[in-house]
Amino acid sequence: MVRGESQELSHVVGASEPPLIEKTIGAMLAEAAARDPDGEALVVRHQGVRLTWAELKRRSDAVACGLLAAGIRPGDRVGIWAPNCAEWTILQFATATAGMILVTINPAYRTSEVEYALKKVGCRALVTAVRHKTSDYVAMLREVMPELAAATPGTLRARALPDLRLVATIGEEAHAGCLRFGDLEGAVDAAQLAAIPIDAHDAVNIQFTSGTTGFPKGATLTHRNILNNGYFVGAGIGLSKADKVCIPVPLYHCFGMVMGNLACLTHGATMVYPAEAFDPLAVLETVAAERCTALYGVPTMFIAVLGRPEFDSFDVSSLRTGIMAGSPCPIATMREVIDRLGMHQVTIAYGMTETSPVSFQSAMDDPIEERVSTVGRVQPHLAVKIVGPDGETLPRGEPGELCTRGYSVMQGYWDDAARTAEALDEDDWMHTGDIATIDAKGYCRITGRIKDLVIRGGENIYPREVEEFLLTHPHIADAQVIGVPDERYGEELCAWVMTRGGAALSEEEVRDHCRGRIAHYKVPRYVRIVETFPMTVTGKVQKFVMRETMIAELRG
């Protein structure tokens, strides 16, 4: 190799200091409680909950012991299907302490989606909200499992979900066949918990990511994966025990539970939840009342907060930093975040669930241009490279597929060796499917997507999943789904539909078929009933032609 050649290639390795954390999440919680027992760990505004680190550890330990008493064992999968709340976080730490694997389920999931998720990973227990927005979770579970109503809590036997034994509901209401979450908080047996053999390399979390085949994949993450990622993300914005982090992003995403909760845990900062789900007014009220120093969100969230008519009536001067991720940030929005919210040290982060999630992050003092045109530089203890179609590492500045390797890469997709092998090569490189460049200074720019991914308001949607669902309609013969630009969400879904035998079908009927049966963000905003799709001479659908047609039509 010619001297200096390696510096010209798009292969970058992050710093090797500080060293990686080789502890479990439960051990880190114990350390936090011992170091700062009276420090504020968790504030949940909409529930009126305030917990110190000592109280959070005690309640988490109590739930861990309660799960063990109910017959749930280390290694068992425990689902959580709920919006942001104190019980979510208590369960996150309880399952980690007991050596169990938390399965995070999107609150927007409907019956078919939650059934698939619980069955795929063989959940032994499920903690669920009773309802959220228009979703009646208990009714949906009874639809999937009619046996639930007559079951004795802890001894459930359901044909559709043969592994599930226990359902616990959040709140004071009693529901047939279910235990109340509060009843799980039993006496703490410290000796029992201490005797559980847990290694930092053990799986602790399964997160579902949409799949191109229409079925979500369960990315399996370890204590070492997510604890370290939380630490380095928090270090990137200078977190300490003096900080309060406002977390309006959902906990079921890595953004909430890793970049939020675990960043706070590893730096002693306070986790603050403004509402069950994102509410821009609640964010402003919470930042002002709690004197939050950091705020998280995707660009659309910041746009909504800045757009509130009451904005100027709130004192947000406590803010100094935060993280923006999920989709590219318009420069005008970044300037407002810095100037009006006072977040001069705001950073941009990029990653994917399979890498725990963050692999690139901008620095607090990066120029604003770098914070909107790039996703920053590689995180410590990670390596990244840009490869061409044949797998060769490309020169700096040349676009290709972004690959990541290091501590953050998942164990694999749960019970799916084939798709794991597609994503992770024999040298342990995670192939992201994103097209990117790395410049001479190491800054990364995401320039496109190899997979036909649509990012709507920070939610990743694979069109194939929506297409397969549309095909369940008896009058739909074929469907193609694309993303089209949208000022509010970045992208919106558009479905082109061909009917079966020329059957009469309206655009609204297509949307009605989706509503209540798939997550709301997967329901196409735009629907077009067509006779044919644009095709190549070899019979492949030309989605780019569809996209260009729709953009021209929408611009009018």
Task: Please give the share of the chain, as a percent, with pLDDT higher than 70.
Answer: 96
Range 406-427 average pLDDT: 96
Are residues 64 and 94 in contact, defined by beta-carbon separation less than 8 angstroms?
yes
pLDDT of residue 98: 98
Task: Indicate if the alpha-carbon torsion angle 338, 346, 441, 450 is positive or negative.
Answer: negative
**Confidence at 465, pLDDT banded by 50, 70, 90:** confident
The whole-angstrom separation of Cα 121 and Cα 185 is 25
Task: Indicate if the alpha-carbon torsion angle 65, 67, 68, 74 is positive or negative.
Answer: negative
The whole-angstrom separation of Cα 238 and Cα 216 is 35
Range 369-398 average pLDDT: 94
The whole-angstrom separation of Cα 200 and Cα 224 is 5
- SS3 assignment, position 513: helix
The whole-angstrom separation of Cα 234 and Cα 261 is 10
pLDDT tens digits for 394-406?
A: 999 998 999 999 9
Of 186, 195, 161, nearest to 81 by C-alpha is 161
pLDDT of residue 543: 86
The whole-angstrom separation of Cα 121 and Cα 361 is 31
The whole-angstrom separation of Cα 336 and Cα 148 is 50
- What the block records as the tokens of 396 is 């700096």
pLDDT tens digits for 8-19?
A: 999 999 999 999
Of 398, 395, 355, 396, nearest to 379 by C-alpha is 355
Amino acid identity of residue 181, one-letter, is F
pLDDT tens digits for 136-179?
A: 999 999 999 999 999 999 999 999 999 999 999 999 999 999 99
Q: Is the pLDDT of residue 540 over 70?
A: no
pLDDT of residue 157: 97
The whole-angstrom separation of Cα 229 and Cα 286 is 26
CA distance to 53, 118, 130, 142, 201, per residue, from 64 (Å): 16, 20, 21, 26, 20
More confidently predicted of 369 and 207: 207
Rounded to two decimals, what is the model's pTM? 0.85
Range 72-78 average pLDDT: 98
Amino acid identity of residue 526, one-letter, is Y
Range 531-541 average pLDDT: 71
pLDDT of residue 22: 98
Q: Is the pLDDT of residue 212 over 70?
A: no
Query: What is the signed CA dihedral for 187, 193, 194, 196, rounded to 10 degrees?
Result: 160
Range 231-246 average pLDDT: 98
Q: Is the pLDDT of residue 389 over 90?
A: no
All domains in the chain, ordered by first residue: 26-34+53-219 (3.40.50.980), 454-555 (3.30.300.30)
- Pairing, β 40-44 against β 49-52: antiparallel
The whole-angstrom separation of Cα 30 and Cα 32 is 5
Integer Rg of the chain from CA: 23
The distance from CA 536 to its chain's CA centroid, rounded to whole angstroms, is 36
Q: What's the first-to-final CA gap in the chain, in angstroms?
A: 55
pLDDT tens digits for 254-307?
A: 999 999 999 999 999 999 999 999 999 999 999 999 999 999 998 889 988 999
In whole numbers, what is the pLDDT of the chain averaged over residues? 93
**Confidence at 213, pLDDT banded by 50, 70, 90:** very low
Backbone angles phi, psi at 52, to 5 degrees: -80, 170
Between CA 415 and CA 418, with CA 417 as vertex, the angle to 5 degrees is: 125
Helix residue ranges per DSSP H, 340-493:
368-373, 417-423, 463-470
The whole-angstrom separation of Cα 8 and Cα 69 is 58
